[in-house]
Structures are given as C-alpha cells and as structure tokens.
Structure 1
Amino acid sequence: MIRTALLPLLLVLSGCGLRPLYGGGAAGPVAQTLQSVSVAPIEGRAGWLVRTALEDRLGDATPADPRYRLEVELDDDISGFGIRSDDAVTRERRTLRARYRLVDAQVGTTLLDATAGSDAGIDVVSSEYATVAAEQTALERLAKEVADQIVARVALYASRTQNGR
C-alpha cells in the first residue's frame, strides 16, 4: 500500500527538473571544475585558515595548470556588545566576511564576484587566556563556514555554466 502511494510521488519528482549538484561524482563536470581552481594567497591568520579550508574542499593538490583562480579578501572583526554596569564587556561577536572573485586564469576576466560571511558569539570570562582561546576557536569555525559558502557558490556557478544557463 505504501509503495503504491510513493510511486506517483516519485514520478512527479522526477519531472521537476531537480538534479544533483555533484552528479557524476569525482568525474562529473562540477567536481572537475572545482579541482581546476587554484586559491591565491590570503593575508593574515584568518586568510591562512580560509585558504587551507578552501584547498581541502576544492581538492588536495593545487592544479599544475589551473583553469580558474580564486581571489579572496577578508574582513575579520571582533566587537563587544554585552556591557556590565562597570563598563566591562561580557560578550563579543566575531565576524568574518569575505569578498571573493573567480577569475579565468588564461584571460583574466572575473566570472563570479560575490561575498560570504558568518559570525559567532563569544563569552568574555575572567580568564584572558580562555577568552583568547574562544576567539581563536571561533575564527577556526568561521573560516570553515566561509569556505563552505564559497565552494557551494562556485559549484553552483560551475553547474549553471556547464548546462548552458
């Protein structure tokens, strides 16, 4: 009974035009495009973290002859917003924003120009070491989140251009 109810639903879904982004696995067009992207150096500790996360997600090896170059500029900011009566900060927000461009390596034209970003809340405690450690942990997590957003957007771009859209 359940099978007969699911069959029409599956037929409707198959006609809606949805298809997997990474169809074809590692040999698919999107995965091949992502593997042909080199990441330009990014300034600072946050830049190193984001670049490493991007390289992990795009493929382990830097392509010998990259088809695309990813250029990223970061804005890393920590601001206090929880204030006690003695003017001491009790809460901070760490924000990591990235402006990135996907550039055709041969021609030099910008194919994709977009932004990504995320933020994290940090409790400020009496131990300065604990607060600094929390700030660094937040930066590591934010770098991964921003890298995920960038790779997802580049993959979507690759999917759309491979299909002539």
Structure 2
Amino acid sequence: MRFLALPLALLLSACGLSPMYAGGGEGRVAASLDAVTVAAIPGQQGWLMRDALVQKLGSGDAGARYRLDVRLDDQLDGLGLLGDDTIGRERRTLRARYRLVDLTTGETLLDATAGSDAGIDVVSSEYATIAAEQTALENLTREVADMIVTNVALKMRSAPRQPAG
C-alpha cells in the first residue's frame, strides 16, 4: 500500500494547482484584497452588501489601492397564483454590477456581474412573509458578496506583480 501512496502523491503535486491564498495573510492575493476599499452603496440592500464585502475584504481604508464600485438591482416578483387570486410564492432576485478600479491609474481592472435568487413562500401571516423576504435578502447578499470576492481574488491572482512602492 505504501508503494502506491508515493507515486500518487507525486502525480498530485504535478497537477498545476496552486493555493489561492499562498503565503497566508502576507501573500499577494490577501494583501491585494486588503487594499480594496468598498464605495458606499445606496439603500438597505447596499448597506447589507457593503457590510458583507468589508467583512470578507477588510476595511481597505488605510492604504487603499483599489476601489470596488457596486450597483445593485433587487427585485421581488410574485409567482404562483392561488385559487383566490392571491400570490402563493415570490422570487427575490439580487443582481450586482461591480467594477474594480485601480486608484493610482484610474483603470478599470474588472467589470462584471454576479447574482442569485431565492424562492419565498407567501403565508397568511404578513409578518412572517416580510421576515422571509428580509431573510432572503440577507442570504442573497452574502451569496453575491462571496461571488464578488472570489472573482476579485481571481483577478488579483492573475494580475501582474506590482513593483514595491
């Protein structure tokens, strides 16, 4: 069994994969993400999104080299009419258009979109439905923020190394 383990380990090391956050907090990707400041985003959805992004990226305020601009589109659509012509199900869709801007050159390094949606059951209690809509928004915000941070990290990883300044 030991004879099989060594060749398999050698094959895995030759696959070309490398860790995204090589070097930990001092690595290139982590340091680049820490240098991102998130611009203000209007509305409750914007506050939730900015908070989620800052938690994942860091504040970026001290020594910010990049700015992340985000525009949100939040929609709540009624689906599934019941026999009494009331809505029985809703779909909440959160889409984000975001740009990563290099503050030293003004160049847009990344211009992309991310989005997700969630289904919500409409029940007889208006309070429960409103609470479900709010929970869906909070969950969607975290999902979309994860997508944005992953895409920004991939961009930072593939960007050419910057000279130390």
Hey, what does 1:54 align to over in structure 2?
53
Rounded to whole Å, the distance in 1 between the matches of 2:21 and 2:142 is 20
Please state how far the C-alpha of 1:162 moved relative to its aligned partner: 4.3
Runs (4 or more) in structure 1 with deviation over 6 Å come to none
Structure 1 unaligned spans of 5+: none
Please state how far the C-alpha of 1:81 moved relative to its aligned partner: 1.1
TM-score by length of 1: 0.94
Hey, what does 1:25 align to over in structure 2?
24
Note if 1:161 corresponds to 2:159: yes
Hey, what does 2:9 align to over in structure 1?
10
Hey, what does 1:39 align to over in structure 2?
38
Hey, what does 1:93 align to over in structure 2?
91
Please state how far the C-alpha of 1:64 moved relative to its aligned partner: 2.1
Rounded to whole Å, the distance in 1 between the matches of 2:68 and 2:53 is 10
1:70-128 deviation digits (Å, cap 9, x = unpaired): 00000000101111122110111100000000001122110000011111110000000
Hey, what does 1:123 align to over in structure 2?
121
- The SS at the match of 1:72 is strand
Structure 2 unaligned spans of 5+: none
Rounded to whole Å, the distance in 2 between the matches of 1:37 and 1:4 is 48
- 1:132 aligns with one of 130, 133, 147: 130
TM-score by length of 2: 0.94
Aligned residue pairs, count:
162
- The SS at the match of 2:159 is helix
Please state how far the C-alpha of 1:18 moved relative to its aligned partner: 0.3
- The SS at the match of 1:121 is strand
Matches within 5 A, 1:138-149: 138-149=136-147
